A = this chain, B = another copy of it.
Amino acid sequence: MNYKQAGVDISRAEDALARIRDRVRATKRPEVIGDIGAFGGLFRLTGSDTVLVATTDGVGTKLELARLLDRHEGVGTDLVHHCVNDALAMGAEPLFFLDYFSTSRLDPEIFARVVGAMADACRAQGCALLGGETAEMPGMYAPGSYDLAGFLVGGVARDRIFDPVAVREGDVLIGLPSAGLHTNGYSLARAIVDRVAAREEREARAMLEAPRPELRGGSLGDALLATHRCYLDDVRLLRTAAAVRSIAHLTGGGWEGNLPRALPAGLGAVVKRESWIVPPVFRLLVDWGGVPDTEAFATWNMGIGLVVVVAAGDERPALRALPDAIRIGTVEPARPDGSRVRWA
């Protein structure tokens, strides 16, 4: 089974973006730094040394899983952490956050659980929840469904922005473990669960709630709803110990879709797959869905949520600063076929 069969076709999104790229570029103002495709947009405020980093994200169909299991708190936190990490990938500290909550018929109790958790996550990360929009759109969503978008602005001193052009051949890739799927690849995960449930003539909900020995007695629902890990404190610590050259946040598009965003043109990454243990939730999904490895690594983070690039000489201090960090590979010239991630 693959992501496309589950209804998500990344090439459609690429096609869509290609059609408007020039019109988006035409909106560029002199304060805008860099081009489309980074983890956050950069805007240098006139008369200030601070560069603003803006990013927007959703939670995808993890929302549907939260609804099915009546566990809504996590998705609010997920959204904040996703945005914080994206801004972090540019070197920024979070400043403020806004949310968009949209549904057919507003249920104040569900809303309060989702957005309340979002507020708590903002507070925990020192980020102001500066505004939001609550939209009630009869007929747009299935009963009980809602959509969620987050928008975060962070700030970074100009000379502290991470820029992939600083990356050199021989640099080291440091991986930080993920807590699970984070907020990507849920349509495939859900399609796999639904198919197995249908085959076994069970309810998807029962499948998700059953304790499983492969998951150390936890349920698949627990594993899938694990909160998107926030790497803010890790990266802060790391920067006191080593010079971070660039960061990739492994989200939609998995490894091939995100790791190259932290590398300059002409360079690629060689990643040693045995350097970390793929967590059981991914192995279970791969197994149940018969998902090819290439597909799994292009859809899910497979156990590493953030990749930090440092100079070879900074590897040791980096690993010492972060107890659960792992050396996962190095930077090498890109291959002639254009692929930028080589597995070793």
Contact = CB atoms under 8 A, between A and B. Distances in A.
B130 A54 contact: yes
Contact of A134 (B7, B17, B24, B63): B17
Interface residues of A, number: 82
Nearest to A40: B131
Nearest to A23: B119
A344 interface: no
A140 interface: yes
Given A19-B112, A116-B23, A123-B26, A100 B58 contact: yes
A136 B48 contact: no
Given A50-B48, A96-B43, A16 B119 contact: no
Contacts of A2: none
Interface in A104-118: 104-106, 108-109, 111-112, 115-116
Interface stretch (A144-152, A239-247, A314-322): A144-152
Contacts of A98: 41, 54-56, 151
B56 A131 contact: yes
Contact of A106 (B12, B64, B137): B12
B135 A60 contact: yes
A165 interface: no
A50 B54 contact: no
Given A28-B128, A115-B20, A56 B139 contact: no
A102 B135 CA distance: 14
Interface string A23-65: 1101111011000000011110111111010111110110110
Centre residue among A32, A120, A132, A135 by max chain B CB count within 10 A: A135
A254 to B, nearest CB: 15
A6 interface: yes
Copies in the complex: 2
A99 interface: yes
A328 B203 CA distance: 61
A111 B16 CA distance: 6
Contacts of A187: 136-138
Residue from the set A7, A16, A17, A19 with the largest chain B CB neighbour count within 10 Å: A16
Contact of A136 (B13, B112, B135): B13
B145 A32 contact: no
A14 to B, nearest CB: 9
A235 interface: no
B116 A19 contact: yes
Contacts of A126: 29
A168 B13 CA distance: 52
Most buried by B among A9, A24, A129: A24
A43 B102 CA distance: 25
A136 B9 contact: yes
A215 interface: no
Nearest to A137: B61
A9 B111 CA distance: 14
A133 interface: yes
B102 A147 contact: yes
Given A48-B48, A56-B100, A149-B149, 17 more contacts: A12-B108, A16-B134, A17-B134, A24-B119, A24-B129, A26-B123, A43-B130, A47-B50, A52-B96, A54-B98, A54-B151, A55-B98, A56-B98, A63-B137, A136-B187, A137-B147, A140-B142
